[in-house]
Chains A and B, each alone.
Chain A
């Protein structure tokens, strides 16, 4: 027990470390991916705030338009939060402190929208100026009181004026670095509408109308977060309103590309010791592609798998970097060593020799030694697996009809499942590779060399050397090819010949073509393909074939599926028809799908209602229920009270019925008195 606690502590620590690493990696990744779009957005806001007041003729004549950035983010709404968060942080740091972001669900009416805007903008000030004098605090609390009285843009405008005046005073007083130019150029007030589609169009229109009235005093600007397509702006706003906006479009990276980079960084790398097996990976990817397109949820899924792995697998304490793993191995207790002996992958690889088997079974030190070797091998396997996977992908991803998939993750899934070289798709891919033209082949091989370049493993270095040799040979072929073309047998025909001679030469030519020796390029090409094939067969073995793979690989896809892709209907159905699976009480056990009469009331009511048609007579239902319950109470059919409805039974029945109504199985109907309507099919 104590030992287990010890290992669970280290496991927890490992898990936490890994998760923190994943988190920071993904955040960095997100920032990097958003950088482009955010930079252009920031540029836009700066441009807007600087060009606002030129005072020249054109800007006087032009209708004052509110600069608006339409940010098209895609339908993966859960991911947008992070984007908006980093966006508003960036804006706060580098453009303006006045940023308010709004969500549709908190802005049902114009009043609420206004209130939120004022709150966000003015509260931000409170946070910013905490270290300033008390006077302001008092002033501010006065403003807060005032605000509750009237929540209008006029108040915001006054606030903004006092704010800019104050800041210009203080900056000149304290002689900050801000120059006179800065003071003239007003800081814009940015309002972010996170989910434009969900806003009430009327509210939005009114708000824009109001804002446009204050534009000369309040340098407003909007950012619309759009999930579908930019034409939604025109659908939501009439021309009279949309003409008040100066709309510019910003398109973000598509979520599938985002996922690809995330998988690249977190999964297709040997630097994370924690791995997913094929099925779990499949579940996570299919949730992403089929259901939500949300990268955040994908990472959540990864986190779940991580937690589950370290929680449920005692040997997961070995799931860390190579050196730490060696140390952990030395500290393993007897129970854990026994677990290693039980591992199926370990048993599979054991040598047949009796002596050694005995040693392994009895000698802990020997076992540790063997395990150390095996762990090393596993790490090596990972180190070689990913570069080769990428090489194979670069070679096959541009083949017609994509026999091995367009994305690396598809190829990875295939490789996780089985020996990839045994699959038919792989054979066709190799055949197609054998038909590549020279320049294509060279460019692909160069890309492969680039992939292999940074890898430090010995085998990969060897592979790189061989690859470069092949490349050199291919490049040198140029001259030879021309020669080859010149020495064609056609020149035999140049002399004038008779018919017989001609026939003979033609036959010869035919013969020679059939058994023609391959050109040096073809030979070389075959060599290349052989070489690639060799690499694949050596390094792209499925992880299941490796001993001790259970340490690193999480394989319970059912758990992940159950947690991430819940099926409430099925669970309710299961709970009602076989309560034993939730209430583990032996009385409730039943064999043939029938419900025991001792089951909870709602189960009995549910079972009985399955026997009815579209409309259910409540009284009949009650009668049936009372009969079943009487039987459960142990009253024989002959006794007096059998099937009688007493008050308690009546109340229990009513409760069961209303619970079923709440779960959506039945509803009240006006078609017939004393009846309820069924909302489900089946049964009978």
Chain B
């Protein structure tokens, strides 16, 4: 099946294109035209935002909350508006602000310059910030609304409990024409603190539809090819990837990676640009493969491009390399940990004691736990149990040397075991084994240990 452009989609795109002219009093018409050019398929949201912001000198609503999925144009819209309309603003990424000091500093720096930022004490509180802001704003008053744009605002929830409520009503606190715009991928309901707070205005950015994606992607065509040719390529690309990925950024990346392959037959002169079917036949398996490899980052984009050249296709992905070489006793420690994690403790006697007396097999095998332990996942076990199993599993006599114990902790740092209880080594620590059955089977094969025989689930 060849995906084709249906006429209705085209007209839909055309309509949005038509409706895209932004009009707002207080802003220069030319600037607004440039803005709408840069924001294809986001005119509605941009218009809404503009009308919320009002004219530059008018007071804006104290806080806006914009949410939508990744790459739905949140930051792009806000940044383009701010830049093109030349509004006083600061954009802060919350990931970057490891401390509130950084956040305050960036705001003060871009609004009032270096001197204001240096007024902040060493570990400033929100009231320090408000005090300095007030002081500065009385010195340098601004006619226009100032905007503080906070990206990845969901991280504010992990910061000081007072920070988010204070930011939401910053306008009131500093008595200045300032507005805070929060951008997030999470809905507002997940933000609301239990103590309650000022409710921001919510603005949702919906995902781009397929037609919109097509429209935007086609806009960035390769300069040496025609628009029609490129948009037919994007159409094929979307046909493969739309089901798994709607991230515009990622799609654009994939489009760039695979375009040269798409052009190959045209460049070689075998196919004309208009022969969509032949082009599709050529590129489709390549794109399918891309979905399994480069999209999942199994293969890096660099390697993907190089593979194009010699076309071996024998590139091994990241997850193909799972083999880990371990010292002999580490292997047995890991096996013991796996057994301890997946066998109930009461069955140890049956597996590891040579003459386990009269535990009737039928009685024993009555699995009162219907579900397999492998479905439930690993269970924590104490160190003593691990060592007891280790000594009975390993075939030679092993002295309890320091290096045996250090191997346990190095297995923890290698993330093959995880420490579940607290870090106190004196008070019998507990571990979990975090490797898969395949992994442990491979390990036990190298030491000639039949692990399946020792697993309760496989009895």
A residues contacting B by CB (< 8 A) are 57-59, 61-63, 65, 67-68, 70, 72, 74-75, 77, 104, 109-111, 114, 149-154, 195, 197-198, 206, 209-210, 213, 227-235, 239-240, 242-243, 245-249, 251, 254-256, 287-293, 565-570, 662, 664, 667, 679
Contacts and interface: CB of A to CB of B under 8 A. Distances in A.
B397 to A, nearest CB: 12
A62 B249 CA distance: 8
Interface string B56-91: 000000000000001000000000000000000000
A645 to B, nearest CB: 28
B98 A289 contact: no
A233 B318 contact: yes
Contacts of B257: 58, 62
B318 A230 contact: yes
Given A62-B257, A569-B400, A243 B95 contact: no
B25 interface: no
B96 A667 contact: no
B255 interface: yes
B328 A290 contact: yes
A568 B319 CA distance: 40
B260 interface: yes
A348 B301 CA distance: 72
Interface string B201-220: 00000000000000000001
A150 B105 contact: yes
B115 interface: no
B423 interface: no
B384 to A, nearest CB: 9
Contacts of A290: 327-329
A75 B220 CA distance: 47
A22 to B, nearest CB: 23
Given A228-B324, A565-B401, A570-B400, A111 B301 contact: no
Question: Which of under 10, 10 to 19, 20 to 34, or 35 or more describes the interface residues of B?
Answer: 35 or more
Interface of B: 70, 93, 95-96, 98-99, 101-102, 105-106, 118, 220, 222-223, 249-250, 252-253, 255-257, 259-260, 296-297, 300-303, 318-319, 321-330, 399-404, 407, 410, 413-416, 426-428
B301 to A, nearest CB: 6
A63 B250 CA distance: 7
28 contacts: A58-B260, A61-B253, A61-B256, A62-B256, A65-B301, A75-B327, A75-B330, A109-B98, A110-B98, A150-B102, A197-B414, A198-B413, A228-B414, A231-B322, A235-B415, A239-B296, A239-B297, A245-B297, A246-B301, A255-B325, A290-B329, A293-B326, A565-B403, A566-B401, A566-B402, A569-B400, A570-B400, A662-B426
A604 B99 CA distance: 55
Given A248-B302, A287-B403, A568-B402, A234 B297 contact: yes
Contact of A58 (B259, B321, B323, B399): B259
Contacts of A195: 413
A206 B97 CA distance: 10
B222 A57 contact: yes
Given A249-B321, A292-B403, A242 B327 contact: no
B301 A62 contact: yes
A10 B402 CA distance: 36
Give 5 closest A-B pairs by Cβ, nearest first: A61-B256, A63-B253, A291-B403, A290-B328, A111-B98
Given A75-B326, A149-B118, A231-B319, 7 more contacts: A63-B250, A231-B318, A234-B297, A234-B318, A292-B327, A567-B402, A570-B399
A122 to B, nearest CB: 18
B44 to A, nearest CB: 26
Contacts of B325: 74-75, 254-256, 293
Nearest to A227: B414
A497 to B, nearest CB: 59
B117 to A, nearest CB: 8
Contacts of A227: 414
B326 A210 contact: no
B426 A247 contact: no
A567 B400 contact: yes
A245 B98 CA distance: 22
B321 A231 contact: yes
A498 to B, nearest CB: 61
A63 B252 contact: yes
Nearest to A565: B401
Nearest to A235: B415
B256 A210 contact: no
Contacts of A230: 318, 321
Contacts of A662: 426
B321 A229 contact: yes
B68 to A, nearest CB: 15
B337 to A, nearest CB: 15
Contacts of B427: 667
Given A63-B252, A210-B93, A291 B407 contact: yes
A63 B249 contact: yes
Contacts of B98: 109-111, 114, 151-152
Contacts of B102: 150, 152
Nearest to A242: B297
B321 A206 contact: no
Most B-side CB within 10 Å, residue of A104, A240, A291, A293? A291
Given A150-B101, A210-B96, A213-B93, A567 B327 contact: no
A251 B327 CA distance: 19
Nearest to B332: A290
A510 B137 CA distance: 117
